[in-house]
Amino acid sequence: MLTAAASVRPRPVLADLLPGERVRDLLVVLGYAGLVGISAQLVIRLPFTPVPITGQTFAVLLGGLAVGTRRGALGMLLYLALGLAGVPWFAGGTHGISILSAPSFGYLVGFVFAACVLGSLARAGWDRNPLTVLLALVAGNVVIYLFGATWLAWRLHVGASEALTLGVTPFLVGDALKAALAAALLPAAWKLSGRSRG
């Protein structure tokens, strides 16, 4: 019979399947930050918005579901801190504290909170079924957009409608495609691990 403590123990996420513990956690945090930094170099600039299309959000969302709450938050805090300190791994190689004045800075803050939300949903088992992966990714995107569009509106002195036009609607189709890809990848990774029901 299960004890009360065992019945509420969170499910493992994909990163938990790696051997080791402390070294694994350190490598996962570093790897998550690095993956987001590399993916941020895939940039498409649009003439009608100050926010570029990048590979960042895909890495943030997919990684957040794969690494769990604590490692996800630490990875995104590390990404943010090192970028502010001068590592050129924000979108298109930008870096430094000048990014604080950029209309897109709110999205970077949103990454931290989205990683927490996604990690929590993964711990609840939402990373194993395509439908729940899609729902989790919608939740993560909403968090990113909430921080990103709010900051953009404040920096550009525009209303909510204009902030949505500049900072949300241009990215919805791309985010839907990224979500569909992640919804295929994560359950497939669990199936390959042989522990999709664990």
Tokens in use for 122? 């993964």
Q: What is the DSSP string of the chain?
A: ---HHHHTPPPP-GGGGSS-SHHHHHHHHHHHHHHHHHHTT-EE--TT-SSPEESHHHHHHHHHHHH-HHHHHHHHHHHHHHHHHT-S-SGGG--SGGGGGSTTHHHHHHHHHHHHHHHHHHHTTTTSSHHHHHHHHHHHHHHHHHHHHHHHHHHHT--HHHHHHHHTGGGHHHHHHHHHHHHHHHHHHHHHHT-TT-
What is the predicted pLDDT for the residue at 77?
97
Comparing 187 with 64, which gets the higher pLDDT? 64
156 with 166: CB under 8 angstroms?
Answer: yes
Alpha-carbon separation of residue 124 from 8, 74, 75, 76, 194 (angstroms) = 10, 19, 20, 21, 18
Q: Which domains, from first to last, does the chain contain? A: 11-193 (1.10.1760.20)
What is the predicted pLDDT for the residue at 171?
93
Predicted confidence band at 187 (pLDDT cuts at 50, 70, 90)?
confident
Alpha-carbon separation of residue 54 from 16, 104, 145, 150, 191 (angstroms) = 28, 12, 14, 19, 29
Predicted confidence band at 191 (pLDDT cuts at 50, 70, 90)?
confident
What is the predicted pLDDT for the residue at 104?
93
State pTM to two decimals: 0.87
Structure confidence by residue, pLDDT tens digits, 58-111: 999 999 998 889 999 999 999 999 999 999 999 989 999 999 999 999 999 999
**Could you give the CA distance from residue 49 to residue 166 in angstroms, rounded to a whole number?**
5
Structure confidence by residue, pLDDT tens digits, 126-171: 988 889 999 999 999 999 999 999 999 999 999 999 999 999 999 9
What is the predicted pLDDT for the residue at 197?
56
Kindly provide the b/e burial profile for residues 98-110, where b requires at least 16 CB atoms within 10 angstroms of the residue's own CB.
ebeebbbbbbbbb
186 with 135: CB under 8 angstroms?
Answer: no
What is the predicted pLDDT for the residue at 4?
46
What is the predicted pLDDT for the residue at 2?
46
Structure confidence by residue, pLDDT tens digits, 10-19: 777 777 777 6
What is the predicted pLDDT for the residue at 34?
95
What is the predicted pLDDT for the residue at 147?
97
CA 39 to centroid of chain Cα atoms: 11
Residue with tokens 């003439």: 47
